[in-house]
Structure 1
């Protein structure tokens, strides 16, 4: 147990200030001498033992009536382990521009607001902690605590299964755990938001698996790099948030995982850079079963790896010229509308990006053949009132499907395509019928046929005779009444009969297919 006589001068100053919540500032005011990165060289006049801080927070110095106790310390070199695991702390902790010799252990602790700003800390473990207030780590340098007895030697900041009633602020912070976990916050439950803006840098994986973030996650301009062996820079699988903001130059040199993630509002990557894993072999974005209302994927440049949106559901999809890589997984992706980036002076380019050829080419980036992306795109065109575009998409689907069929089915498919466009272009049958009618009428007018029975039947009419050959059902009385001594014209008659059956069969099959899919 510590006694007051054993305390050094700065420790006594802190001891006396604690009950009244006064701040103890050990900084010199000289920028060169107050650089936190060199805090390990600060002398005894700026050194406070962690044991003294622990003693104060555990009730060694009673609170004065009429004052709110609070530990406020600035510009100190804190030596020894700050071990408060499981502690019930009734005061807020404020550290500013401090240098910690060993990690901070708050595992399972219950405390109020925790502020460590502008400081250097070799790891913070607040796993399973209950924090009534904010966790403010702005401008701090957090490094993996290799010598820590309470956390992984590859974790710099742990908030696993923690509960925070306020927000977590990491603006302009640097969190270093190269190849490991920079931030481990799986199961984090919050009432506020997580803010990693203003140049936040994480070396190592940021993990927020299953986190509940009703205040949102804001990582505008954040930079994530040096992921672990899995190549994952950010893991948000099954997280629930109001807003997920990865805009304003957000850069991930590793995979961003959003599997099963739900955003009740906006999920935006506007102006982001998704480089994928450093080896360029893994995906840039993995978001199967993701849900969001507004999904803005207008990136600064195309992702280096694949984008997986299988089974994802969004109400509004925003994309642009740099949104999609060479390979996109879209099977099961459902969207209510598509809006393209229409920057000033680029409206014509935006219109082209929303054209059927561009959208079909987008779907063709999916490996193999999947009918759902075509059906989804056609559904969107129909809802927008563009029925012609919807039919063109469905025709492209049939042409893509044809490539996967046996040769006989492919041949029949080609016939359906040429004659009626798989039922989505029935006017093609009229074109064929008109062309064959003109061919027959002109050809049969060059010679005179012989009657099957003299004196019977209607007079020969080349046009009516041709139509009688092309119409396989019923009859106009011409085909059975005349025959051709000219073998060439007789063979032409046989061919027109065959074409009539083929056209009729193709029209019925194509229209039936179109009606079934409409």
Structure 2
């Protein structure tokens, strides 16, 4: 138990100020000597033991009547470990411009608002902590300290399973945990949201696995410089939140994971840069099974790693020419609408031929052949009333599928394509019929055939004779009544019969396929 006589001058000043909530400022007023980076050189006149701070917060000096006790300390060197694990702290505390010698331990504590502003802290352990108010680390430098019994990973800030009724404010902070977690906050409940703006920098993974962020996550302009051991800079797997704002120059030099995240409003990457892991071996964005209403992927430049949207569900997708890398995984990706971002604003990606070409090329970036992305895109065009565009997409699907078939099936596929466009261009059959009819009429009209039986049959008509050859079903009485002494014309007749059968079979097969799909 500390006695008043054992306290230094600076500690007595803090002790006396605590009951009335007065501010204690130990700075000299000289900018050079007050820089927090040099706090390790501050002398006894600016040093406060962590045990003194802990004693005050735990009620060592009761409040004065009519006053609210609180601890406000500026410009101090805090020696020793501030260990408040499991404590019930009824007083808020503010520490500004302070330099901590050792890691701060708040594991399992119940406390009120904590604000550590512009300070240097070698690690903050706040796992399983309940904070009635907010946790603010404005412009502080948090570095991974020694491994603790409570969190054995290399971690700068631990908020695992913590519950914060206000916001977690990390604006302007720099968190460093090389090869580990800059922020380990799996299971975090932050009712007021998490804010990492105004120059926030993380060296290491920011892990919010399964977090519930009722107020959203805001990381505008944040820089995630070095990934953790898995090559991941930001993990939001299975997180639940109304909004994720990763825009305005947000930079991630590692994988961003949103797998299974549920976002009731919007996810925006507008103006962001997703570089993927430095070694180039991992994806830039993994959003498998993500559920979101509004998804804005209008990036500053194309991602350098793959984008994985398999199984994701989006009501509104916003993209641009910078949204997609060379490889995009789209199998199972479902969306209600696509809006293309261009200079001058956004527009619905409909009504232009190059729009379909662009979207089909987008699907082709997905590795292998999967029918679902084509069916999804065609469904969107069809719902919007653009049936012609939907048919073009489905035709592209058949052409892509053809590449995966055996040689014989590919030949048949090519035949279906050129004759009836797999049933999505039935007018091609009319073009072929017209061309072959014209060829036969002109060729047969220059010569006279011989009758099979003299004096029997209808007079020779080149046009009707050609149609009789091309139409395999029924007969017009010309084909069986005449033959050609000229071998070349006789072979032409045989070829037209063969073309007629092929054309008829292709029409039936293509139209049947189109009817089954539609």
**TM-score, normalisation: structure 1:** 0.97
- How far 1:487 sits from its partner (Å)? 2.5
Match of 1:324 in 2: 324
Structure 2 distance, partners of 1:70, 1:23, is 9
Match of 1:478 in 2: 478
Match of 1:507 in 2: 507
Structure 2 distance, partners of 1:167, 1:85, is 21
Q: Structure 1's 60 and 359: CA in aligned 2 closer, same or farther, altered over 3 A?
A: same
Match of 2:16 in 1: 16
Q: Structure 1's 317 and 354: CA in aligned 2 closer, same or farther, altered over 3 A?
A: farther
> Which secondary structure does the structure 1 equivalent of 2:68 belong to?
coil
Deviates more, 1:431-440 or 1:456-465: 456-465
Q: Structure 1's 191 and 27: CA in aligned 2 closer, same or farther, altered over 3 A?
A: same
Match of 2:123 in 1: 123
Match of 1:357 in 2: 357
- Contact 1:340–1:353 (CA<8 Å) still a contact in 2? no
Match of 1:438 in 2: 438
Q: Please show how residues 345-494 of structure 1 align to structure 2 within 5 Å.
A: 355-494=355-494
> Which secondary structure does the structure 2 equivalent of 1:338 belong to?
strand
Alignment partner of 1:78 is 2:78? yes
Q: Please show how residues 111-510 of structure 1 align to structure 2 within 5 Å.
A: 111-146=111-146, 148-152=148-152, 154-344=154-344, 355-510=355-510
- Contact 1:352–1:358 (CA<8 Å) still a contact in 2? no
- How far 1:481 sits from its partner (Å)? 2.5
- How far 1:456 sits from its partner (Å)? 3.2
- How far 1:92 sits from its partner (Å)? 0.8
Structure 1 distance, partners of 2:382, 2:310, is 22
- Contact 2:340–2:349 (CA<8 Å) still a contact in 1? no
Q: Please show how residues 86-125 of structure 1 align to structure 2 within 5 Å.
A: 86-125=86-125
> Which secondary structure does the structure 1 equivalent of 2:31 belong to?
coil
Deviates more, 1:456-465 or 1:171-180: 456-465
Q: Structure 1's 495 and 423: CA in aligned 2 closer, same or farther, altered over 3 A?
A: same
**Matched length:** 518
Structure 1 distance, partners of 2:349, 2:320, is 10
- How far 1:458 sits from its partner (Å)? 2.4
Q: Deviation digits for residues 86-122 of structure 1, max 9, x if unmatched?
A: 0011111111111111111000000011110111111
Q: Structure 1's 498 and 351: CA in aligned 2 closer, same or farther, altered over 3 A?
A: closer
Deviates more, 1:193-202 or 1:64-73: 64-73
Structure 2 distance, partners of 1:45, 1:36, is 15
> Which secondary structure does the structure 2 equivalent of 1:355 belong to?
helix
> Which secondary structure does the structure 2 equivalent of 1:495 belong to?
helix
Structure 1 distance, partners of 2:146, 2:317, is 43
Q: Structure 1's 32 and 353: CA in aligned 2 closer, same or farther, altered over 3 A?
A: farther
- How far 1:324 sits from its partner (Å)? 1.1
- How far 1:384 sits from its partner (Å)? 2.1
Alignment partner of 1:28 is 2:28? yes
Q: Deviation digits for residues 465-502 of structure 1, max 9, x if unmatched?
A: 11111111122222222222333222222211111111
Structure 2 distance, partners of 1:96, 1:146, is 23
- How far 1:59 sits from its partner (Å)? 1.5
Q: Deviation digits for residues 245-295 of structure 1, max 9, x if unmatched?
A: 110111111111111111111111111111111111111111111111111
Q: Please show how residues 24-63 of structure 1 align to structure 2 within 5 Å.
A: 24-63=24-63
- Contact 2:175–2:182 (CA<8 Å) still a contact in 1? yes
Q: Please list every run of 5 or more consecutive structure 2 residues that lacks an aligned counterpart in the other structure.
A: none
Deviates more, 1:477-486 or 1:200-209: 477-486
Q: Structure 1's 295 and 348: CA in aligned 2 closer, same or farther, altered over 3 A?
A: closer
Q: Deviation digits for residues 126-150 of structure 1, max 9, x if unmatched?
A: 0000000101001000000126454
Q: Structure 1's 254 and 381: CA in aligned 2 closer, same or farther, altered over 3 A?
A: same
- How far 1:503 sits from its partner (Å)? 0.7
Structure 2 distance, partners of 1:112, 1:348, is 49
Structure 1 distance, partners of 2:113, 2:149, is 24
Structure 1 distance, partners of 2:81, 2:486, is 109
Deviates more, 1:235-244 or 1:380-389: 380-389
Q: Structure 1's 143 and 350: CA in aligned 2 closer, same or farther, altered over 3 A?
A: farther
Structure 2 distance, partners of 1:437, 1:147, is 86
- How far 1:46 sits from its partner (Å)? 1.3
Q: Please list every run of 5 or more consecutive structure 1 residues that lacks an aligned counterpart in the other structure.
A: none
- Contact 1:243–1:265 (CA<8 Å) still a contact in 2? yes
- Contact 1:106–1:125 (CA<8 Å) still a contact in 2? yes
